[in-house]
């Protein structure tokens, strides 16, 4: 598990480092590369409540594609005498899991009647005993691929008795973490497994230094009145907290350790529960969550009106000697269909195709279309959170596309009409399987900017004197924004940074520590936390201007009152310069050289007596040759640049070395 978390940490820190950014008018590239995180179904599992599975039960879990189970590893049941440990029940469970290739997330939890009067550990002796027991368990099952979790929902009273106390929890977690790190440094330790995403409790844990010992932060993002999609903002807030308190250089992913929807909740039934499972796992994939545990495996009772009895993917009744041994609910079918259809695929990004029939081709934030990739093949998962059943357009697809329902049933092939495909969305996800070779045309044609979180109006890039790439982002309107910004060179990200903007109009400047390769095509991309691209600049390929910079006497800085939009020209020492290649720039360059050549001819003719020289409009500057004094004083240029040479600088010109103060990529 430590290897999985380490691989995923690269993705969490760099965003989609290998994903090729696509500009609306750029040539269609190859299909986007997949990130290096774990592939489906390595990310999925169930909560269970047993150590001895019934015959056929573990086989049915494995048949759905699940690769994980989460189970209480109870202190009181394994230490009934002080210092004497009995792990035989968990040995039996591990043997059954090993036979099916399933891994375990064990929860180190709950009180022991031998210590602290049977309450959660609050004394030094109780904490030391718990840590000694945890080390014994991790040592006993060392190198078995187990993920050890520090308690279950310690932020609510039923699980931390007599009353939830974050200070006591932090003290226990630090004691256990240090002991495990010293005794079993190769074992993965995570926490705190809080109920919902309790940010105050989580921040207290992180302030207490628990990230020094944890490999991941686990949460239970339950929500009763909304769909799984609303978790995106909360994940972003938690990710910001983690970045604030993580030790230098350590990237901590978020795990969804327990989350489910009861088919007995008001407004839900077995069918809608199945759709929620698929959407939950898909949204978690879009939010870089490398482990999603559904609560829970089977119904815990038979009362159809009791919520706690109806979280399962299969019914409660066990049928011995029959296959399958439990009656599957739609949730089980949804899990099997997702894991089978996307087997081996990795999430790439969310795309925003336009709705069909609209006068203006615009996407809707209610529509979710997720792109997955495995080698040259791509798959799409699509649904909507709105009340309507809209049609969306997928341009570029000119061959029939096979569809699969979220419960696994085959859908009629979707035939293209005109230059693309029309797909009707509903609350139930549908999987689209384009034919091989369709990836590039689909992705390049579908690209749209999604402004659901507020339009990112401008993004300006300035290489700084400190060697960093200085980025200024202007947000025009809308809700708060959480995501990332990436600088790409020749289509591959070379630097990324976290980007958080408040509601309404906002501006921020950040620095990316990466040297832009000389001659590379550079582009900036802004993505939300669900990887929807909300702003992107077209790739620009810079080139050096040679000796021009040394003769021009200009340096470039942001125009006053127009940050990120215009440039002013100021006198500067001789230096080399780089500028964007483009026809407009070349025309200005030729005109500037032509004017210079004509001035030299006029000066030579005047000195020969042919025609009088044009009068100078300013006093000579020290150290400059007389013929260059005929230029207007560049210090007089104070407004945004509108021309080139003596009258200003094109806004498309930007600097590529540390000595230039500012510039813009339009």
Residue 418 has a pLDDT of 77
Asked if pLDDT for residue 312 goes beyond 80, the answer is: yes
Backbone angles phi, psi at 625, to 5 degrees: -70, 150
Q: Which of 52, 62, 72 is nearest to 159 (CA)?
A: 72
Please give the share of the chain, as a percent, with pLDDT higher than 90. 53
pLDDT digits (tens, 9 = 90+) for 324-346: 999 999 999 999 999 999 999 99
Query: 366: which residues sit within 8 A by CB, 6+ positions away?
Result: 384, 385, 386, 390
Residue 143 has a pLDDT of 96
Q: Enumerate the domain spans of the chain.
A: 42-341, 346-446, 456-536, 543-647
The two structure tokens encoding residue 52:
């001895």
Q: Which of 444, 443, 442, 406 is nearest to 421 (CA)?
A: 442
Domain 42-341, CATH number (from 1.10.630.10, 1.10.3430.10, 3.20.20.80, 3.40.50.720): 3.20.20.80
H or E stretch at 238 = helix 231-245
Residue with the two structure tokens 């559904």: 294
Instruction: Calculate mean pLDDT across residues 293-310.
Output: 97
pTM score, whole prediction:
0.77
What is the helix, strand, coil percentage profile of the chain, to 5?
Answer: 30, 25, 45
Residue 639 has a pLDDT of 35
Check if 42-341 and 346-446 are the same fold: no
Query: 338: which residues sit within 8 A by CB, 6+ positions away?
Result: 40, 41, 44, 65, 278, 281, 282, 406, 431
The two structure tokens encoding residue 476:
């025009």
Q: Which of 186, 176, 91 is nearest to 145 (CA)?
A: 186
The two structure tokens encoding residue 615:
């009068």
CA 651 to CA 584: how far, in whole Å?
A: 11
Per mean pLDDT, which of 59-68, 524-533, 534-543 is the most reliable? 59-68
Please give the share of the chain, as a percent, with pLDDT higher than 70. 73
The two beta strands, 456-463 and 469-475, are antiparallel
2, 190 Cβ separation under 8 angstroms: no
CATH topology of domain 456-536: Immunoglobulin-like (2.60.40)
Domain at 346-446: CATH code = 2.60.40
Hey, is 401 helix, strand or coil? strand
Query: 548: which residues sit within 8 A by CB, 6+ positions away?
Result: 577, 589
CA 127 to CA 130: how far, in whole Å?
A: 5
Mean pLDDT of the residues in the chain = 80
216, 4 Cβ separation under 8 angstroms: no
The two structure tokens encoding residue 392:
């969306």
Give the residue with greater pLDDT, 351 vs 449: 351
Burial 634-662 (b: 16+ CB within 10 A, else e): beebeebbeebbbbbbbbbbbbbbeebbb
Asked if pLDDT for residue 483 goes beyond 60, the answer is: yes
Asked if pLDDT for residue 219 goes beyond 70, the answer is: yes
pLDDT digits (tens, 9 = 90+) for 142-165: 999 999 999 999 999 999 999 999
pLDDT digits (tens, 9 = 90+) for 589-639: 666 667 767 777 666 666 555 444 444 444 454 554 444 444 444 343 333
CA 147 to CA 574: how far, in whole Å?
A: 60
């Amino acid at each position: 598990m430590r290897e999985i978390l380490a691989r995923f940490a690269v993705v969490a820190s760099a965003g989609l480092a290998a994903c090729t950014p696509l500009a609306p008018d750029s040539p269609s590239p190859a299909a986007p590369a997949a990130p290096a995180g774990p592939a489906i179904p390595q990310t999925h599992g169930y909560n269970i409540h047993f150590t001895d599975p019934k015959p056929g039960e573990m086989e049915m879990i494995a048949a759905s594609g699940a690769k994980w189970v989460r189970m209480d590893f109870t202190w009181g049941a394994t230490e009934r005498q002080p210092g004497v440990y009995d792990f035989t029940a968990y040995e039996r469970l591990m043997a059954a899991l090993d036979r099916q290739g399933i891994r375990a997330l064990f929860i180190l939890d709950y009180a022991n009647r031998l210590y602290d009067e049977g309450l959660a550990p609050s004394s030094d002796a109780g904490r030391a005993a718990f840590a000694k027991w945890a080390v014994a368990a991790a040592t006993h099952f060392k190198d078995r691929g187990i993920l050890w979790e520090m308690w279950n929902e310690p932020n609510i009273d039923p699980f931390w008795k007599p009353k939830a106390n974050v200070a006591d929890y932090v003290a226990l977690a630090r004691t256990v973490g240090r002991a495990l790190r010293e005794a079993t440094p190769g074992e993965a330790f995570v926490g705190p497994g809080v109920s919902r995403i309790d940010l105050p409790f989580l921040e207290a844990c992180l302030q207490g230094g628990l990230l020094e010992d944890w490999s991941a932060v686990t949460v239970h993002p339950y929500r009763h009145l909304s769909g799984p999609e609303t978790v995106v903002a909360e994940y972003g807030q938690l990710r910001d907290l983690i970045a604030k308190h993580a030790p230098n250089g350590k990237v901590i992913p978020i795990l969804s350790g327990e989350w489910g929807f009861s088919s007995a909740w008001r407004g839900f039934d077995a069918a809608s529960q199945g759709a929620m499972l698929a959407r939950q796992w898909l949204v978690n994939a879009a939010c870089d969550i490398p482990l999603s545990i559904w609560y829970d495996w089977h119904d815990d009772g038979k009362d159809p009106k009791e919520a706690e009895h109806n979280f399962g993917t299969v019914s409660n009744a066990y049928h011995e000697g029959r296959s399958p041994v439990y009656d599957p609910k739609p949730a089980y079918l949804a899990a099997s269909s997702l894991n089978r259809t996307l087997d081996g695929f990795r999430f790439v990004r969310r795309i925003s195709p336009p709705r069909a029939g609209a006068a203006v081709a615009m996407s809707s934030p209610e529509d979710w279309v997720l792109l997955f990739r495995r080698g040259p093949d791509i798959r799409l998962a699509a649904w909507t959170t709105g009340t309507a059943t809209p049609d969306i357009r997928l341009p570029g697809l000119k061959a029939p596309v096979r569809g699969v329902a979220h419960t696994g049933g085959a859908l009629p092939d979707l035939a293209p009409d005109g230059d693309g495909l029309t797909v009707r969305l509903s609350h139930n996800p549908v999987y689209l399987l384009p034919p091989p070779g369709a990836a590039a045309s689909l992705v390049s044609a579908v690209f749209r900017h999604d402004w659901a979180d507020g339009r990112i109006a401008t993004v300006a890039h300035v290489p700084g004197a400190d060697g960093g790439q200085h980025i200024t982002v202007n947000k025009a309107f809308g809700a708060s924004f959480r995501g990332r910004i990436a600088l790409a060179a020749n289509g591959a990200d070379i630097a990324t940074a976290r980007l958080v903007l408040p509601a309404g109009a906002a501006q921020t400047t950040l620095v990316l520590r990466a040297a832009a390769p000389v001659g590379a095509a550079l582009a900036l991309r802004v993505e939300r936390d669900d990887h929807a691209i909300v702003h992107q600049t077209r790739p620009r390929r810079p080139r050096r201007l040679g000796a021009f910079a040394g003769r021009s006497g200009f340096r470039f800085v942001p125009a006053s009152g127009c940050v990120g939009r215009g440039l002013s020209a100021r006198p500067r020492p001789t230096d080399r310069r780089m500028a964007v290649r483009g026809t407009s720039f070349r025309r200005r360059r030729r005109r500037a050289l032509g004017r210079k050549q004509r001035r030299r001819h006029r000066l030579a003719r005047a000195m020969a007596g042919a025609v009088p020289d044009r009068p100078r409009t300013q006093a000579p500057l020290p150290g400059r040759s007389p013929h260059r004094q005929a230029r207007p004083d560049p210090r007089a240029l104070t407004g945004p640049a509108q021309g080139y040479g003596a009258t200003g600088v094109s806004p498309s010109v930007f600097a590529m070395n540390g000595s230039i103060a500012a510039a813009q990529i339009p």
